[in-house]
Every structure is written in structure tokens, then in C-alpha cells.
């Protein structure tokens, strides 16, 4: 009973801390959802929808690298990519749901700016076909090269969100993606230099 009361109190405290309202009163869940819905624009929606699809592609590539990579460094990088991007998908899906928008996998992408979604001119399916046919150091090199391009696309999408978005949480995530993926690009370029 005490544990349940503590969990409820913690949830209420966290909801109050995460609120972006200016009033001193802790908002109810309904008020918090209305506030979240009121503080997003089309750029935020498109960012979340497209980044979900983009992250799903990175996780697919990383999953293959966990199985196939010939070096422990490449496998470890792939595992970190999966671990970071899975929770970000969940976060963005939650935003879209609270905003009353379609989630990335439910969305018709026709008419959306798909900048940042290809890798050196290759689609996700083309990259997966290429990687699936490779082994050893050739696989590692192709995976790293394609993931560098993939990360550059995510950075481009995140920079657009920071320039055009209005939701503070989405803009903060865009900044996190820029920082994390810029660092991973440097790591991947160093790994490529050693192959």
C-alpha cells in the first residue's frame, strides 16, 4: 500500500517537474496534455514522424552489425545505437500521441520533405541489401560508411527542427541528437581509418 502511494506521489511530482506551464500550480494530467498539444507546430510533428522512421532504419542496420561485425568496437557501437535510439522512438511516439498526430509508422510520408532519409543516394532497403551481402572487414567498412551518412541525415533533420520547431522538448531532443550523432560520426571515422 505504501509502495503504491509512493509511486503515485512520484508520478505526480515528475509530471509537475516536466510541465512547461508558467503557473505555479501543478497541472493535472489533462492540463499537461493540452499544454503539450498547444505547444507544437507542423515542424515538430514532421520531425517526430520522420525521426521515428529514421531511427527505425538505424536500429535495423545496427541489429545486423551486432550479428555480423568482425570487430568488437563496431559491435559495441551498434549496440549503443540500438540502446539510444529505441527509447527516443518511444519518446517521440508518446509526443505524437499526446499531440493527436499520427505516429511515424502510421503516417503517409507523401508530400513530406524526406531530406536526410537517404544514405549517399541509397534507400534503407538498398543499404540493407548491400550489408546483407557482405562479411568481415567489408561489412564493417560498409556499415560504418552508411551509418555516417545516416547520422548526417539525422543531424540535418535535427538542425531543421531547431530552426523551425516550437515544442521545447522536441527542440531539446534535436540538440541531443546533433551532439550524440556528431560524436558518433567522429568515432566511426576513426574506426574506418583503422580498417
Tell me: the pLDDT tens digits for 77-106? Answer: 999 999 999 999 999 999 999 999 998 555
Q: What is the largest CA-CA distance in the chain?
A: 59
**pLDDT tens-digit map of 98-128:** 999 998 555 444 444 444 566 778 899 999 9
Give CA–CA dist 48/117, Å, rounded: 13
- Is residue 137 within 8 A of residue 15, CB to CB? The reply is no
Residue 173's nearest CA partner among 90, 98, 59, 104 is 90
**pLDDT digit string, tens, across residues 17-68:** 333 334 334 444 444 445 555 589 999 999 999 999 999 999 999 999 999 9
- Taking the C-alpha atoms of residue 119 and residue 151, their distance in angstroms, rounded to an integer, is 9
Q: Burial letters for 133-165: b for 16+ Cβ neighbours within 10 Å, e otherwise?
A: eeeeeebbbbbbbbbbbbbbbbbebbebbbeeb
CB 139 within 8 A of CB 131: yes
Q: How many CA atoms lie within 13 A of 166 on its CB side?
A: 11
DSSP state of 28: P
Amino acid at each position: 500500500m505504501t509502495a503504491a502511494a509512493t509511486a503515485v506521489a512520484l508520478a505526480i511530482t515528475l509530471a509537475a517537474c516536466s510541465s512547461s506551464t508558467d503557473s505555479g500550480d501543478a497541472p493535472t494530467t489533462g492540463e499537461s496534455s493540452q499544454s503539450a498539444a498547444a505547444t507544437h507546430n507542423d515542424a515538430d510533428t514532421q520531425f517526430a514522424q520522420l525521426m521515428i522512421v529514421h531511427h527505425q532504419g538505424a536500429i535495423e542496420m545496427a541489429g545486423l552489425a551486432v550479428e555480423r561485425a568482425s570487430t568488437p568496437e563496431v559491435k559495441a557501437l551498434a549496440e549503443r545505437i540500438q540502446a539510444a535510439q529505441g527509447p527516443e522512438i518511444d519518446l517521440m511516439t508518446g509526443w505524437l500521441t499526446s499531440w493527436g498526430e499520427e505516429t511515424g509508422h502510421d503516417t503517409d510520408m507523401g508530400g513530406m520533405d524526406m531530406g536526410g532519409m537517404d544514405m549517399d543516394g541509397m534507400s534503407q532497403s538498398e543499404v540493407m541489401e548491400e550489408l546483407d551481402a557482405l562479411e568481415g572487414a567489408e561489412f564493417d567498412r560498409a556499415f560504418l560508411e552508411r551509418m555516417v551518412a545516416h547520422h548526417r541525415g539525422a543531424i540535418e533533420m535535427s538542425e531543421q527542427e531547431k530552426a523551425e520547431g516550437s515544442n521545447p522538448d522536441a527542440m531539446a531532443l534535436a540538440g541531443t541528437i546533433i551532439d550524440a550523432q556528431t560524436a558518433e560520426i567522429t568515432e566511426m571515422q576513426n574506426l574506418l581509418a583503422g580498417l
